[in-house]
Amino acid sequence: MSELVIYGSYGYTGSLVAETAVERGLDPILVGRDAEKVTDQADELGVRARVASLDTVADRIGDAHTVLNCAGPFSETAEPMVDACLEVGANYLDITGEIQVFERLKRRSDEAEEASVTLLPGVGFDVVPTDCLAAHLAERLPEATHLALGFDTSGSLSTGTLKTAIEGLGEGGAIREDGRLHQVPSGWKTREIDFGRGWRTAVTIPWGDVSTAYTTTGIPNVEVYSTFPESTRRTMKLQRYLAPLLDTKRAKRLLKRLADRYAENPSAEERADATVYVWGEATAEDGERVVSRLRTPHAYALTAETAVLCTEKTLDDDAPTGYQTPASAFGADLILEVPGVERTDEDVRAEDGDIRAENE
């Protein structure tokens, strides 16, 4: 019997994904390293549990059709889990947003093709809404040479997300330029963007779309933006000078311990009340420009929905084999299948511009 395995199901986001999967009628096998946590969770949800580390997981997923990896940082877990999936012939999905994870898994596409396996990272908020918006913009303006994406949200980060962010401290930002990845300083460029609720100040961030949007659309220049308070933007610039200190194992261990001790996961009330505004702009060499926007539920609520939706489609053998992005696998309208998501399009005159766009 072909099975769905959810690895790392008892973390904050993994728990939301597992609960959503069960609510949607799936019967996942929950797998994790901590025997007590994974069995308690499985008993509560009425599903099966298995105990395995990354070193032993291939022995525990031999009957798997699809594995959904929710255990970050994915820089540490993705490739060992892909190794296991290729060994047993299971499809691999995860909820990463880490650029280098996307890049490394993309290089394994031929392996996956030979094994008739799908490699589909990034099926959460990173990067389903932005990837689908990128694909939609490319359809609207096929001759586009530049793509900018961004989102405006509020609320706290989960402990797991915070620890993944800590893992990337000291690395600065990233953009795609002329088809190549380029490192840029943290908080490299600032723009005023109308995400759909008025103009907001946003700065470049090293979001997964710097990798995936290029794969999905072929547009060679990609930047991703997010809104932050002024104090956070100042801190991002300060990271440029603290990078040598932050990019050490000792500093990251300390910051992760602090995250474990003091960070609080978003509450159910916060997830229910929040709205995320996603924006995208495609521009051609002649100055023609198109803008599209999404409104979505809270980022973690959306992750649970999109991860399970992509998993269902993969279980139905709807996903092409080899390395895929969410939109390359399932199309630009995938995100519209999620309840509560709305998309709007805007035609923009070439002379219209943002109030401010500058490198800092």
Average pLDDT value for residue range 51-63: 95
Measured N-to-C along each axis, helices 230-246 and 249-262 cross at an angle, to the nearest 10 degrees, of 140
pLDDT score recorded for residue 353 = 47
pLDDT score recorded for residue 241 = 52
Cα–Cα distance between 97 and 170 in angstroms, integer? 17
pLDDT score recorded for residue 251 = 54
Q: Are strands 3-7 and 189-194 parallel, antiparallel or unpaired?
A: unpaired
Q: Is CATH 3.30.360 correct for 128-300+338-359?
A: yes
Residue 87, exposed/middle/buried by CB under 10 A (0-12, 13-18, 19+)?
A: middle
Whole-angstrom Cα Rg for the chain: 20
Identify the weakest region by mean pLDDT among 19-28, 81-90, 270-279, 344-353.
344-353
Asked whether residue 165 carries a pLDDT value surpassing 60, the answer given is no
At the fourth CATH level, the homologous superfamily of domain 3-124+302-330 is NAD(P)-binding Rossmann-like Domain (3.40.50.720)
Identify the weakest region by mean pLDDT among 33-47, 130-144, 161-175, 300-314.
161-175
pLDDT over 90 percentage in the chain: 73
Give the start-to-end residue ranges of the domains of the chain.
3-124+302-330, 128-300+338-359
Average pLDDT value for residue range 119-147: 97
Cα–Cα distance between 121 and 72 in angstroms, integer? 12
- Confidence category of residue 173, pLDDT binned at 50, 70, 90: confident
Asked whether residue 356 carries a pLDDT value surpassing 50, the answer given is no
Can you say whether the dihedral through the CA atoms of 2, 124, 74, 329 is positive or negative?
positive
